[in-house]
Structure 1
Amino acid sequence: MIVAGCSRFGANIASILSAKGKDVVVLDSDNLAFRKLAPEYSGFTIQADATDIDALTKAGIAKADVVVAATNDDNTNIMIAEIASKLFNVSQVISRLYDTEKEIVYQDFDIQTIYPSRLSICEFEKLISTDLLEGLK
């Protein structure tokens, strides 16, 4: 499994996968970003641009079952996801997007997306509904 981007999201995903015994490689252009990984993280880290095909090849993308595009930049995540999906035929590609208007880019690709803003709104709606219902009792 490859996690491209050691953002908080990427670091947590990589740490969880590593704790479950998965083989994980994290790529990030900023070597300091790797400090976000859990102390017990047992995977590999590569300081490199995850849009660089040579870096992805070094990370083992040709054998990867899953690629997670988890940088803090939507355009970078789109590029990584398309490279993984179209050039390397990775079976499961997951990309984080902040801007929901960019989801149209993924319509013709078999790429799963995670939208933090949508998830936050859904959680807010659950909380506000619960609080309002409890206030009516």
Structure 2
Amino acid sequence: MRVVILGCGRVGSLLANTMDKAGNEVTIIDENADSFWRLASDYGGEKVTGIGLDEDVLRVAGLDKADAFVAVTNGDNTNVMAGQIAQRRFKVPRVIVRLYDPIRAQTYRKFGLETICTSIIGAGIINDLLTGTPQRPIEEYIKMGPAVEHVLPVLEDKAASSSENEEERK
């Protein structure tokens, strides 16, 4: 499998090392070349230094031939935008983005982006450990986030109210 990973932090480097050792073709992108120190000394994949939202950088990384793209930078917005570029412009068959914000994770999932929210998963696992509940399949943890159906109308009302207030100030 050809995998392009955006972000060479703790998660990205661990994923790159694991996928590389399993025999996959891995390319990892980070805007800071110093981040590549996290990769194993025997990492055999490619390393690309550049901004992960730049289509030229993504082409150099081979995103146009990738089977999968994973965005795991420390920024939710960057991960979402990069995921959308991979999905829509490069037509990558499998796109996964890591998000910290549970509301964003569920919102973008509703719009067709595969998201992993480490905040939801972490809280679910800790809850199960504290309560003695047997650990569940990952899909059950993912469903534990806030109900987007209840949050979106509130966010839309706030946005509309904010726009009306700006118009009144003019």
Equivalent of residue 8 in structure 1, options 7, 10, 16? 10
Match of residue 108 from structure 2: 105
Amino acid at match of 1:125: N
Equivalent of residue 50 in structure 1, options 49, 52, 56? 52
Asked if the contact 2:108/2:115 (under 8 Å) is kept, the reply is no
Match of residue 77 from structure 2: 75
Separation in structure 1 between the aligned mates of residue 125 and residue 102 of structure 2, nearest angstrom = 17
Q: TM-score, normalised by structure 2?
A: 0.73
Match of residue 87 from structure 1: 89
Q: Secondary structure at the match of 1:24?
A: strand
Match of residue 96 from structure 1: 98
Shift of 1:95: 0.2
Separation in structure 1 between the aligned mates of residue 74 and residue 22 of structure 2, nearest angstrom = 25
Shift of 1:105: 3.1
Separation in structure 1 between the aligned mates of residue 66 and residue 10 of structure 2, nearest angstrom = 22
Please give the per-residue CA displacement for 1:34-75, whole angstroms capped at 9, x wherever unaligned. Answer: 111122211010111010000000111111000000100000
Q: Secondary structure at the match of 1:93?
A: strand
Separation in structure 2 between the aligned mates of residue 90 and residue 107 of structure 1, nearest angstrom = 18
Q: TM-score, normalised by structure 1?
A: 0.90
Separation in structure 1 between the aligned mates of residue 49 and residue 81 of structure 2, nearest angstrom = 18
Shift of 1:130: 2.1
Count the aligned residue pairs.
130
Question: Unpaired segments of 5 or more residues in structure 1?
Answer: 132-137
Question: Unpaired segments of 5 or more residues in structure 2?
Answer: 134-170
Shift of 1:21: 0.6
Separation in structure 1 between the aligned mates of residue 71 and residue 26 of structure 2, nearest angstrom = 13
Match of residue 19 from structure 2: 17
Higher relative contact order (CA 8 A, sep 6+): 1
Which has the greater radius of gyration? 2
Amino acid at match of 2:108: V
